[in-house]
A and B are shown apart, each in its own frame.
Chain A
Amino acid sequence: MQMLQAIAVGLPLTILVTILALAIGTVLAIPLVAGLRSGNRLVWLLTRGTIDLLRGIPPVVWLFILYYGVSIGALRMSALQAAVIGLGLVAAAYLAEIFRGAIGSVHQGQWEASSALGFRTGTAWGRVIGPQAWRTAIPAYTTYGIGLLKDSSIASTIGVAEIVFMSNQYARQSGEGILVFFIAAGIYILLSMPLGMLSRHLDTKMRKAVAR
């Protein structure tokens, strides 16, 4: 019980890092998608390069670069800031690809109908293309979110006191190695299962409504 309590202290930071990184990733993915869809060759190339760079380097290295590297210079970052920003940037790159694919899956005719009816670009995106793309993106998006929940444990490497960090600390103090990490594993499963269920539920519900 004491063990569980000690580990659970890390729960708020695990959730915080996950949610903030996902939020940053989602917001930053939007300009990246715009860049990937750009007709301008240079913009496309820069965006493509940024995404490949973000995805090509392991998240743990990003965290080290942000925490130890950047912190040497003028920009001082706390461990939490570095974790959230680092994981958020990597998330942006992956989510941009997910969103781009989802937007591409919306039938060309939907654009044509929007134009022919005289919708402004904003209306077409907000009412026609966006909602359909979002429905397509939901399963991949939640899958990424669940992955991110588990990847938030990488933050322990720079000293963010989340679940794995707390487990590690408790294991060292108490000498009860394996059991501590089984409990940590159990907490992750309990956190991710409802997310998966929610995603599947949303997916089937929407499919039922608009099944072709």
Chain B
Amino acid sequence: MSHTAPTKIRNVVQVRNLAKAYGDNVVLRDVSLSVPEGSVTAMIGPSGAGKSTVLRCMNLLEKPDSGEIEIDGHVINARKKISPKNLAALRRSAGMVFQHFNLFPHMTVLRNISLPQERILGRSRDEANTKTMELLTRMGLGDKADHYPARCSGGQQQRIAIARALALGPRVMLFDEPTSALDPEVGVEVLEVMKELASEGMTMVVVTHEMGFAANVSNELVVMADGCIIESGDPRQIMSDPQHERTRRFLRAVLER
């Protein structure tokens, strides 16, 4: 018999037994993880640990060899045939922010954010533009609407990319090293926006090297190494008292820099 207690928090994202290899190179082995609604999960670990791969598997930018991904009730099993409809639904539930922003360079900032709304949500151009301006104004970028991305700073571009994803009303935001391509000072602008999103209750998964963000903003810390989750739980507790030798080594290396 299974019944759900009324207080139980829903998981927006569930990853079950994810595995992936490129030829002989195993990048993920049996990774499982749940992301409760309204929580911020930070994923840290040495490069090559598989953090980004897990994130990119969540919206099927990379196809796992086996395992299951569930976002907002849409389930995709790597071993079964993926229906385009199901894939579209899953991607619609997840907004993605990339390390290198990946804005469309041949479109103005306004078009970058409005076009997906028109195409994915079927909004009219006016509706989409209204929503876009609202988001841009919130990010303090209202005056950039008619600029091309190349004329915006890196921090501005990343905030525009966040706005583009948010405009589609995702249930979870996936961040793939959102500040790694930015100068530390500029990265702060982006982290501020992310902090604000978190405080508004957005469910977030963040692959990051920003230990400050991981410690102060995230509710759950996931430490990965060699394709496995080696430790997960309360961020402050893990950072002050890591249980795993690999975690200790990694934290020492990061904090001593």
A206 to B61, CA, bound (A): 30
- A113 contacts B102, CB within 8 Å? yes
- A116 contacts B104, CB within 8 Å? no
- Indicate with 1 or 0, residue by residue over B90-106, a CB within 8 angstroms of chain A CB atoms: 01101110101011111
- B106 contacts A210, CB within 8 Å? yes
- A113 contacts B120, CB within 8 Å? no
Residues of A within 8 A of B150 (CB): 210-212
Give the A-B pair count, Cβ closer than 8 A. Answer: 66
Residues of B within 8 A of A128 (CB): 104
The tally of residues in B whose CB lies under 8 Å from a CB in A reads 26
- B116 contacts A119, CB within 8 Å? yes
A56 to B29, CA, bound (A): 50
Closest Cβ of chain A to B98, distance in Å, is 6
Closest Cβ of chain A to B247, distance in Å, is 30
- B106 contacts A135, CB within 8 Å? yes
- A109 contacts B105, CB within 8 Å? no
Known contacts A109-B100, A210-B148, A211-B150: does B164 contact A117 (CB below 8 Å)? yes
Q: Which of A118, A209, A212 contacts B116 (CB under 8 A)?
A: A118
Question: Which chain B residue has the least Cβ–Cβ distance from A128?
Answer: B104
Chain A interface size band reads: 20 to 34
Residues of B within 8 A of A109 (CB): 98, 100, 102
Residues of B within 8 A of A105 (CB): none
A residues 94-147 touching B (CB-CB < 8 Å)? 107, 109-110, 112-113, 115-120, 123, 127-128, 131-132, 135
Q: Which of B91, B105, B119 contacts A116 (CB under 8 A)?
A: B91
Q: Is B168 an interface residue (CB 8 A)?
A: yes
A120 to B120, CA, bound (A): 9
- B104 contacts A113, CB within 8 Å? yes
Residues of A within 8 A of B148 (CB): 209-210
Interface centre among A109, A112, A119, A128, by most chain B C-beta atoms within 10 angstroms, is: A112
Q: Is B88 an interface residue (CB 8 A)?
A: yes
Which A residues have a C-beta under 8 Å from some C-beta of B? Answer: 107, 109-110, 112-113, 115-120, 123, 127-128, 131-132, 135, 206, 209-212
Some 8 contacts from A to B, beta carbons below 8 A apart, are A109-B102, A117-B165, A118-B88, A118-B92, A118-B116, A120-B119, A127-B115, A210-B105
Q: A113-B102, A127-B104 are in contact. List 12 more A-B contacts (CB 8 A).
A: A113-B98, A113-B103, A117-B120, A117-B168, A118-B168, A119-B120, A127-B119, A128-B104, A135-B106, A210-B106, A210-B149, A212-B105
